[in-house]
A and B are shown apart, each in its own frame.
Chain A
């Protein structure tokens, strides 16, 4: 009956009637709305409001203590012309090119190996892979510094036995990427592998059986069954790896502090340094302006990836 009435409503009256209808719906389902309200209240207070305030601050000069002063687009002009900003974005593009492919390929490879039906001690391998996820990155960062130290580093000590080194791992701009990349991979590959494993185990075994009956080779099975069905997982890994790399913070913070000469400095670490004021008065306006530029950069990269993935899918 209600459906019939709705069809008879004139187009001009429809919005008012629809909003009135929505309100009535909300009133009818108020216990359900009450149950989900805490999330929205928390989101509004702790996320939406700070983001809005940060946006306002990006047009102000403020040190967190004295009164904020309106400076228009000056913060954006400064950070866009700042050589350190150029350096951090160069760094992050380099990390995207290295870490995102590794962040997708390695979990796929480990996941495929762990999914092999004849593999023994599967649980042990899974546990070993997952240990880094539950290990404190700060503690591991200190270990990494000792590992890659120059004069008394453990790695240089090992290499000395075969007549190599010593290498200046943490101070050479090229070599300093290795501790950061290795620590990032070490810390994230376990979780991604579990996701891949879940995806692989969700594929219906009947599909493989049918393919085998039809005489498909291992490669054909992988290419025509596994890979297409794993596509959502791969897209998920691609997007989460990309966001993870763009927001890289802890690894350079604990291992190199962004050095040498800002060659491992990431946007988030730079934002932290200038926003918190680790080496001078906090430049909260500059930090928030850079945060919004970083968000824009992240959106562009992620949407470009999604567009490419969709286009490839359509093809």
Chain B
């Protein structure tokens, strides 16, 4: 009952706020100036506000929710357990009818929707925290055509080598501080010969998943699918060709497991002890390793992480796979509360700790330098301090891996074009030029 008891002053200000709302009309809040909007919201502050959070089941925000609701008791987070962008886009096409308040888009979606002007401008809160956020991740949320930040930086999603120390020992392989991919491939052959386990994941599905490994190599080389603003396709330049030649080396060596990394067959392979090592993103610890690693056969306590091997002419020892951000749209009725959540979830120690414990790599630098981050442990990894490796990876995270709107379709097209190149039916420079031309044609459709 106490929660519903208001003072005379609160009733008066709430009444004034409601009167203001009526005067402004149904679209009043959205159209009102920020100060007027804040005033109205302040007046209504004692009322319960529900924010619809459009994220998949088993999400880092599940850990943030109780902390946030305890700190801001009048804001309820309604976790929708869905991240189907087709559903989300349908609400946008319906002029915001039913559009959730918060969602977790990939960076190419941030760029696409940010350019269209439909995303909530969060420049104020991003610039407020700019010294505390990883610069590479901030860059991804910046829309150059509008000079605004369209999302709050989320998961950095660096990539490293997950490996099983027990299987490597069995094969007589030790990991040096500095090594090249060629060294890694030789070690992988040794591991395959002695244990039968794979050291790569290369699904020959001929789609997005096939091109992921190529994307890792391209990232390390400082290349990208497009230029910074997405107007030019660069994936078939020298770096793209070198990256594809490296994938072919891996393919020819027969040291990979041919399963999509986020699907049940790959998890089954991990559980069956068929995976000795694999380049995978930071979020894969919670997503694929921990659910699959439950006993001795799956290597419980023996999993480790290390930086990626170097590549000739490369600029980084990490790569990127996934890595969403927090965003909202101009349709939200609660922009101030949405920003409050964004700042709390990934711009404070409390929120970043909750997300970090889940298994993502938050962009909040004070957390990444804290004991709370480096002390995270998992049964699959025993006492190994895996987060120390991810901190090193953040230092290697480059801001040149541009994910412009054509990125997703381009990766699918590269994946489809890769199979003939890997089989040797098409030589790599020709194959890359053909896929580059195809994506150039496609990219025209993304240029307004």
Chain A residues engaging chain B, CB cutoff 8 angstroms = 61, 63-66, 69, 78, 83, 142, 145-146, 149-153, 168, 170-171, 256-263, 276-283, 286
Contacts and interface: CB of A to CB of B under 8 A. Distances in A.
Contact of A63 (B116, B419, B438): B116
B86 A258 contact: no
Q: Which 8 A-B pairs have the closest CB atoms?
A: A261-B206, A279-B408, A64-B93, A260-B206, A259-B205, A149-B265, A276-B86, A280-B409
Contacts of A278: 85-86
Nearest to A148: B265
Contacts of B416: 261-262
Contacts of B30: none
Contact of B265 (A146, A257, A259, A276): A146
Contacts of A280: 108, 112, 405-409, 446
B409 A151 contact: no
B97 interface: no
Nearest to B269: A151
19 contacts: A65-B116, A66-B117, A149-B259, A149-B265, A150-B265, A151-B259, A151-B268, A151-B272, A152-B272, A153-B265, A171-B204, A171-B206, A257-B205, A258-B207, A261-B205, A279-B412, A280-B108, A280-B405, A281-B446
Given A171-B205, A261-B419, A279-B412, A151 B258 contact: yes
Given A168-B258, A259-B205, A278-B86, A152 B265 contact: yes
Contact of B205 (A69, A260, A286): A260
B49 interface: no
Contacts of B405: 280-281
B18 interface: no
Instruction: Tell me if A's interface is mostly helix, strand, loop or mixed.
Output: loop
A65 B92 CA distance: 6
Nearest to A69: B448
Contacts of A261: 205-207, 415-417, 419
Nearest to B266: A151
Given A145-B264, A149-B268, A278-B86, 7 more contacts: A65-B118, A69-B448, A151-B274, A257-B205, A259-B205, A261-B205, A279-B409
Contacts of A168: 204, 258
Interface in B390-415: 405-409, 411-412, 415
A277 B417 CA distance: 20
B154 interface: no
B274 A282 contact: no
Q: Which of A171, A257, A280 has the most CB of B within 10 A?
A: A280
Nearest to B209: A259
A86 to B, nearest CB: 12
Nearest to A274: B409
A22 to B, nearest CB: 40
A153 B411 CA distance: 27
A54 to B, nearest CB: 13
A180 to B, nearest CB: 14
A150 B419 CA distance: 17
Contacts of B265: 145-146, 149-153
Nearest to A259: B205
Contacts of B203: 171
A280 to B, nearest CB: 4
Contacts of B89: 64-65, 276-277, 282
B86 A281 contact: no
Nearest to A83: B438
B115 to A, nearest CB: 9
A259 B409 contact: no
A277 B85 contact: yes
B76 interface: no
B445 interface: yes
Contacts of A259: 205-207
